A and B are shown apart, each in its own frame.
Chain A
Amino acid sequence: MGKTIYIFSAGELKRKENTVVFEGEDGRKFLPVETTDELMIFGEVSLNKRFLEFCTVSHVPLHFFNHHGYYQGSYSPREFLNSGATILAQAACYLDHEKRVDIARRIVCGAMENMAVVLNYYRRRGNESLVSMLSNIESYKGKLDKSDSVAEIMGLEGNGREAYYSAFDHITGGGPFAFDVRSRRPPQNRMNALISFLNSMCYVTALSQIYRTHLDPRIGFLHETNFRRFSLNLDVAEIFKPILVDRIIFSLINKKVIQAKHFEDGPSGGIYLQESGRKIVVSAWEERLQQTIDHPRLKRKVSYRGLMRMEVHKLEKHILGDQTYEPHISGW
């Protein structure tokens, strides 16, 4: 597995001598094309068609983020893994009410279990106040079996997440990172800014992994296909947000790596991570994605990024009628 390169500087991306070169204020930097999996572009970067064509033949997708770090869109090379049979089966699963509800339920159940894993991790470290949130999550999870519409499942997911979010101040001690309520577009405080930024990193990472399987990122099961360009990546991210995004947030705050000074007010309201803050968060994110765990069935070490791809493979097998999908539940 190759590297994800994050470009924060301003400059120009080019094809040169059959590889990628970035020409910024600090000079020219060659990026080895054979080991580059994707480029995440935050800075003011210009590029031309010749470069995009090179990205296509080299299978390097580009993801663009705006000034505040919001995801803007992707350039994805013409699909190279294409299976009509798989896409038909995926669409058929979406259209079959029972099958769709079953998958949605499995995803939310996995997400809630991972939320519980995170809270239990901090409870074991002596934070007994988390017990009540844990039992709330547990009770919402119990209601999943009786819910028979995606809207209901979405509702329970919302309830579970609310209970889970109410634990955040107990873990971080509130202070400059007090949570209050979840606010998006724009985030109203630092905690919300952190969650928004890392969630979007998680969605994009899941999207990249889906592109390396045969599933279509546009057809999700929990998240409605109708309203957005991509939805399957949101489904996959549900499983991983607690164990990746939230654990990173707690660790960055508790170790005081990220501080109030890394944030700034937006011009039209809201609070955002500054560039220095974004770089800190991105390094922590990348470090976590590269961490490996022993995969019991594959009998080798798999990184968290790889684990996301395995999750998509498991969904693919479920959809093909091969093996029932069981979400990844973290073992710590």
Chain B
Amino acid sequence: MAVPCFSEPPRIGGTLVWYFSICHREVWFMSHGIEPDREDDFLVMGRLIDENSYRRDRHSVSFGDNRFDIVKVEDGTLVVGEVKKSSRSIDAARLQLAHYLYDLWKDGIIAKGQLLFPKEKRRKEVELTEETRHRLDGVYEEIREIACMAAPPKAVKNRFCSVCAYSDLCWS
């Protein structure tokens, strides 16, 4: 059965950009409101790290369709921080953060990005360049295409399946 297409285009927030780098099927699920089981262990752990790290700087801020983990000012510049469980998918995290910076840039706000890995006690700076802006424009287009597909992209095993909260749905 084809899923009816919605007239409203998908709202592209940070998580959707993140999932785009991980798994296109996940993008389709998310853009159709198909959320994974809340009790999934990986989600429980993720939420926990989210809630318990950097409690001091923590000012979760909503901006458009995004939710920034941390917003602070360092040396007179706005810094947006994104907390991740591990650096296993650092490229995906980098793209997500660049998307935040791009959204801010569109509103005339220049900011810097910081990826934070509390478990590894590491941080990584992210900057917005002309090249990443161009890359993101392409990503948005692809996300819209995925969201308009009549059925989810076929399940393909990748290295994230073993820690993915959708794995019961995909592999049942």
Real binding pair: yes
Residues of A within 8 A of B (CB): 1-2, 59, 80-86, 88-89, 92-93, 96, 99, 212, 214, 297-299, 309-311, 313-314, 316-323
A93, closest chain B residue (CB)? B1
Partner of A320, one of B1, B38, B39, B172: B1
Which one of B3, B169, B172 has the highest number of Cβ atoms from chain A below 10 Å of its Cβ?
A: B172
B34 touches A92 (CB 8 A): no
Q: Contact check, A85 vs B33: say whether CB atoms are below 8 A apart.
A: yes
Check A81/B1 contact, CB under 8 A, given A313-B169, A313-B172, A317-B169: no
Question: Does B48 count as interface, using CB distance less than 8 angstroms?
Answer: no
Question: Does residue B37 face the partner (Cβ distance < 8 Å to A)?
Answer: yes
Is there an interface contact between B33 and A320, defined as CB atoms closer than 8 Å?
no
Of the residues A1, A83, A93, A313, contact of B32 by C-beta under 8 Å: A83
How many residues does chain B have at the interface if contact means C-beta atoms less than 8 Å apart?
Answer: 22
A298 lies within 8 A of B171 (CB): yes
Contact A59 B38 (CB under 8 A): yes
| Cβ–Cβ < 8 Å partners of B154 in chain A | 322
Give B151 Cβ to nearest chain A Cβ, in Å: 4
Of A84, A86, A298, A322, the residue contacting B167 (CB under 8 A) is A298
Task: Name the B residues within 8 Å of A85 (CB-CB).
Answer: 3-4, 6, 32-34
B168 at the interface (CB under 8 A from A): yes
Residues of A with C-beta under 8 A to B168: 298, 309-310, 313
Instruction: For residue A101, give the distance in angstroms from its CB to the closest CB of chain B.
Output: 13
Highest count of chain A CB atoms <10 Å: which of B1, B150, B168, B169? B1
Q: Which of A59, A212, A319 contacts B1 (CB 8 A)?
A: A319
> Given A83-B35, A85-B3, A93-B1, A320–B151 Cβ distance below 8 Å?
yes
User: How many angstroms from the CA of A248 to the CA of B127 in the assembled complex?
Assistant: 63
- Are A322 and B152 neighbours in the complex by a CB distance under 8 Å? yes
Interface residue B2 (Cβ < 8 Å from any Cβ of A): yes
A99 touching B1, Cβ below 8 Å = yes
Q: Looking at the assembled complex, report how far the CB atom of A279 sits from the nearest CB atom of chain B, in whole angstroms.
A: 28
* Pairs A–B under 8 Å by Cβ, sample size 27: A1-B39, A59-B38, A80-B38, A83-B33, A84-B33, A85-B33, A85-B34, A86-B33, A88-B3, A88-B4, A89-B1, A89-B4, A92-B4, A214-B33, A310-B168, A310-B172, A311-B172, A313-B168, A313-B172, A314-B172, A320-B1, A320-B151, A321-B2, A321-B3, A321-B150, A322-B155, A323-B155
If the complex has contacts A88-B3, A96-B1, A298-B171, are A320 and B152 also in contact, measured as CB distance less than 8 A? yes
Residues of A within 8 A of B169 (CB): 313, 316-317
Chain B hits for A309, CB < 8 A: 168, 172
Docked complex Cα distance between A2 and B37 (Å): 13
Closest B residue to A81 using CB positions: B35
Compute how far the CA of A84 lies from the CA of B2 in the bound complex, rounded to whole angstroms: 14
Whole-angstrom distance between the alpha carbons of A319 and B3 in the complex?
8
CA distance A86 to B152 in the complex (A): 12
B32 to chain A, nearest CB (A): 4
Q: Name B33's contact: one of A82, A93, A212, A314 (CB within 8 Å).
A: A82
Question: Which residues between 98 and 118 of chain B lie within 8 Å of chain A, taking CB atoms?
Answer: none
| C-alpha spacing A92/B150, complex, angstroms | 13
Q: How far apart are the CA atoms of A320 and B32 in the complex, in Å?
A: 11
Proximity string of chain B (1-32) to chain A, C-beta cutoff 8 Å, 1 when within and 0 when not: 11110100000000000000000000000001
The 6 closest A-B pairs by CB, nearest first: A321-B151, A310-B172, A83-B33, A85-B32, A313-B172, A297-B171
